[in-house]
Amino acid sequence: MASSIDIRSIAKHFGGVPALDDVSLSITPGEFLTLLGPSGSGKTTLLMCIAGFVQPDAGSILVDGNEILTLPAHRRNLGMVFQSYALFPHMTVGENVAYPLKLRGVSRAERERRAREALGVVQMDGLKDRRINQLSGGQRQRVAFARAVVFEPAIILMDEPLSALDKRLREDMQIELKHLHQRLGRTIVYVTHDQKEALTMSDHVAVMERGRIMQVASPRDIYERPTSEFVARFIGDAAVLPIAVDGRDGITVPPRLLDGPRALPCPALVVRPEKVEILDGEASHPDVIGFDGEVREVIYQGDTILVFVKLPDGQSLSLRRGTRHTVLKSLPARGEKLRVGLRMEDACVIGVAG
């Protein structure tokens, strides 16, 4: 049912500018993998290489061990959902969904049955005679999905399929697509530039920057254990603070934290705002990295409140708290001195450039 995808050393240049630079990625059968990265990082290009609309300069893409780069797009048997949905406005909803079956020579009755079934999966079976221009954005999204799965492709590709929807609907659809994935069990390669969306939906996230894959990991590891400054800063908020080793400037951390990354040339600490605690007058604890600072700004954001803390060496970090009454009451005001800390379990050390 589901297929594996092996992407090996794919490179693609557009007029000398690299859009993909030695990209390798393994996707297991039934996995939901998200390509996440800023705009222009090469996500669409990589997806188009899989789909067959962009021919890479080098490399190979294997599906279940078979090379697909030699196949034309229409022989790859992939379901794809486009950012614009790309529904055919001259066909009804039902005709759109039945189209891939028609191309495969499926009989009319069977076509209608399977189209109805696919529309049922996305709760759109009542609207099969509608025209596309009579549908809302969310409905179009569902029809596009039904059309991409009705011929039972082993792999589904999606390029920012939710980006045209408003926030509420987008969040609902994220959960819905995740459930559809669990139910259908197909391999999904999903593209987004929205980190929260990637974390919500995926089994694995591949973070891309400038045509390269920076890190592939589970949502939890990609957030808690980034391996580079780019990933740490691109996903969530993070302060990246140089660590003092061998007489260099920076913050002091317990030596135990450096056991693993001791080989790093310039280690730095990734500090996530929600993991920072306020230490009021406690004696220093061996498992807590402490920082003395001064409150520079307090920003109320509704669900959370953000406190920017300036450290003596001029760097800053922030801490985030939920806006319960007790929290709001106890928070320091701007200009006050403050001691904050990060538990060793919440600390992540990366190597930074220079």
Ligand X SMILES: Nc1ncnc2c1ncn2[C@@H]1O[C@H](COP(=O)(O)OP(=O)(O)O)[C@@H](O)[C@H]1O
Residues in touch with another protein (CB under 8 A): 51-53, 72-74, 76-80, 82-84, 86-90, 99-100, 103-104, 131, 133, 147-148, 151, 157
- Identity of the residue, 38 or 185, whose beta carbon is nearer to ligand X in the bound complex: 38
Which does residue 45 bind out of another protein, Mg ion, ligand X, none, counting CB within 5 to 8 angstroms by kind? ligand X
- Identity of the residue, 104 or 337, whose beta carbon is nearer to another protein in the bound complex: 104
Q: Which of 42, 56, 337 is nearest to 212 (CA)?
A: 42
Residues ≥6 apart with Cβ < 8 Å to 40:
none
Which does residue 80 bind out of ligand X, another protein, Mg ion, none, counting CB within 5 to 8 angstroms by kind? another protein
Q: Give the pair of three-digit tokens for residue 48.
A: 């188009």
Question: Does residue 44 interact with ligand X by CB under 6 A?
Answer: yes
Q: Are 59 and 9 in contact (CB under 8 A)?
A: yes
Stretch that binds Mg ion, among 40-48, 65-73, 278-286, 341-349 (CB under 5 A): 40-48
SS3 of residue 287 by DSSP: coil
- DSSP label at residue 76: S
Q: Give the pair of three-digit tokens for residue 176.
A: 């819905």
Q: Which of 3, 34, 41, 44 binds Mg ion (CB under 5 A)?
A: 44
Please report, to the nearest 10 degrees, the dihedral formed by the alpha carbons of residues 262, 311, 302, 192 taken in order. Answer: -40
Question: Does residue 141 interact with Mg ion by CB under 5 A?
Answer: no
Can you say whether the dihedral through the CA atoms of 202, 206, 207, 208 is positive or negative?
A: negative
Residues ≥6 apart with Cβ < 8 Å to 284:
290
Burial string for 293-317 (b: 16+ CB within 10 Å, else e) reads bbbeeeeeeeeebbbbbebeeebeb
Minimum CB separation of residue 208 from ligand X in Å reads: 7
Minimum CB separation of residue 18 from Mg ion in Å reads: 16
- Identity of the residue, 53 or 300, whose beta carbon is nearer to another protein in the bound complex: 53
Site residues for Mg ion, 291-330, by CB under 5 A, read none
Site residue total, ligand X (CB under 6 A): 10
Minimum CB separation of residue 268 from another protein in Å reads: 42
Name the site residues for ligand X (rule: CB under 6 A): 14, 19, 37, 39-45
